[in-house]
Amino acid sequence: MKVVIAEKPSVARDIAEVLNITTKKKGYIEGRGCAVTWAFGHLVTLQEPGAYDPALKRWSLYTLPFVPDEFKLTLIKNNGVEEQFQIIKNLCEQAEEIVCATDAGREGELIFRYILALCNCEDKPIRRLWLNSLTPDAIQAAFKDLKDGHDYDALYAAARCRSESDWIVGLNATRYYTVRHGQIGGGGDRVLWSIGRVQTPVLAMIVERDDTILQFRPQPFWELTTRYREVVFKYTGERFEQPEKAQALLDKISGQPFAITTISAKENKEQPPQLFDLTTLQREVNKTHGLSAADTLAATQNLYEAKLVTYPRTDSRYLSQDLKPRIPKILDQLKAIRAEQIAPLDLAKLPFTTRIIDDKKVTDHHAIIPTGVRPRTIGAHEQLVYEAITTQFIAAFYPVCIKNVTTVNGVATQVKFQAKGTQIVEPGWTILFPKKKMSQDAADDQALPAFVKGETGPHEPSLREGKTKPPSHFTENSLLGAMEAAGKFVEDDTLREALKERGIGTPATRAAIIETLLRRNYIRREKKQLLCTDMGRCLIALIQDPLLKSPELTGEWEEKLKQIERSQLAPESFMAGIADYIRTLIEHSSSRRLDSARWGSCPLCGKEVIKGKRAYGCSGWEDGCPFVLEPECRGVALSARQIQAMLQLHILPQPVRIDDEPRLLILSTQGLPIDLRLPSAERQKKVEKTEHPAKPPAMKVK
């Protein structure tokens, strides 16, 4: 008997239908010498430490770090899992051959191999079904081209290393920081500080961005422009930081004639957009519709299972050569819903450029495209995502957009100005995106009259005062870009492509990382923005090891996992590095203990803090240091240990300015912020408190 294991019941039903297997049994479908069964996503996971040694059930610093010599597996504690696993196990024990039909990627391989290992059936012959879509044609073609399952041993090795390294780093670091710092706030409950190999660097990126914005102080500037023949010309020099210099130039050109010196026109061609990979799809849908990365992934997965689009968890924006014959047929099928948009295309002579077809840039899966199957009733999110994928697919074959960019230079008493105007000659692919903002400066879109070189006339110069702006808070769109580029967020597609080999997480896991941080109250959503919470900022302040917060290091780990997939790196080498890293982290962090003989260092000048009658202050007060900390926050008395922890663990961001007043933001170990206004000479020294939502509930360690 041949046993086929799918990842979900719906996929198993699709496969059984294509193979004409119709007899439904408890937990599987049988017929024609074959049984098609299913998992519920992950059925098997890694054992908890207590399974290795009962003493490890208790969280203690003395048992850390714990790195198993050999990892043990167990079933996930969900309803129906044990019963379904037993069905799979019985089928596998009877099987002459087992076919892996889980999702064709790293996690799908892990799901299958973990099930196989817990069934003790790893010695059975295995085959691999590699699907890019769930249409009947694709399933039939894939079954005719089953691969030897062991061709994917390297993919499984990478998946196992990902799973085990996350376990090692997450478990040890979480236990260490929870035991070491979870009760600083006092009380009977312990705060659970959750650490992750990937989630913590992502949180650090958000905290760093928010702190940069918090500490940002706007600087004024002045821009010189002039209006000539209803066209705005900009001064070609740098904008002014001093109003006097700007005013001097304004006075110089006021009342003087303006002359056109040069006129040049250049034809610009904007290439059609590339096809979507998962990350660019998530970013685009978040930017245009505000849909979260997790919701976009879920909608795309639903579309895949409904046979409407190809496999979603891909990091490629290209198609392979063998797909070329199928593309005209897909476009022809899409005419039923997009006739007007597809009509201009010559399906017999599609422009298959290297921006569309490139075998070298197709990884496990090609770009996300529609299958041509006509959608019936789908959800609102699914409709948005399907429209985006279909429009992008059609646009890829449209002509380039041709623009004429005209640059006009002028001068007034030797002060140079410039104006630009853009004229669309051939809209090309842009007609498919009427609501989409084009990446042009608004000043470059103005209509220009017919200027003549050497013409002169009166003009209206003016000054505009502005202020520098801080960087923007992360949105899911920009955070996904930053994760893809290992913290070096860039808008340019080409540069992002070059950096994506060092990204944080994978296209399939990035949405889950964001949702995990939200669920654990380390970040929060505010409209489209993602902001760190006090809990998140406190956690990053507690973690002194820079590597644990480094997106670049995590990017290197992800690159090594890809090397394992390509059989370019031994899994043992990677795991040895992870074990060495966690040992070093625990040893280094353990050496940092509170010194009971001192309060700590002043966050302003670095001198020792001393205790007065009613408050704590800097020993350098006679030299003018104004730092004072009262041991009470919103009616909560801070203990001596809390004061020591804050001062010695440096849970103190740099001084910032709020409403143009110098302040110190200190995050208390109870999750409450203490907003210290640094006293001025005119004001008495005192601590003022900010408004803040209620303390998040403490989490008990199980």
Report helix, strand or coil for 5.
Answer: strand
Active site residue 386: no
463, containing H or E segment: strand 460-467
Distances (CA, A) of 403 to 392, 396, 432, 441, 446: 21, 18, 16, 14, 13
Token pair for residue 356?
A: 């569309």
- For 23, the 3-state DSSP assignment is strand
C-alpha to C-alpha distance for 690 and 678, rounded to whole angstroms = 14
- The 3-class SS string of 93-142 reads HHCCEEEEECCCCHHHHHHHHHHHHHCCCCCCCEEECCCCCCCHHHHHHH
| CA dist., res. 87 & res. 24, Å (int) | 13
Maximum CA pair distance of the chain? 96
- Evaluate whether 184 touches 671 at the Cβ level (below 8 Å): no
Catalytic residue among 235, 311, 398, 522: 311
Q: How far is CA 149 from the centre of its chain?
A: 32
- Are 522 and 203 in contact, with CB atoms under 8 Å apart? yes
Query: Taking Cα atoms as reference points, which of 78, 127, 129, 84 lies closest to residue 103?
Result: 129
CA atoms of 696 and 153, how far apart (whole Å): 45
* Helix (H), strand (E) at residue 645: helix 640-648
Q: Which two tokens stand for residue 564?
A: 């394992």
For residues 6 and 34, what is the distance between their CA atoms, to the nearest angstrom? 13
Those residues with Cβ within 8 angstroms of residue 14's Cβ, 6 or more apart along the chain or in another chain: 134, 139, 305, 307
Q: How many helices (H) and strands (E) does the chain have?
A: 18, 27
Contact 660, 602 (CB under 8 A): no
Q: What are the residue numbers of the active site?
A: 311
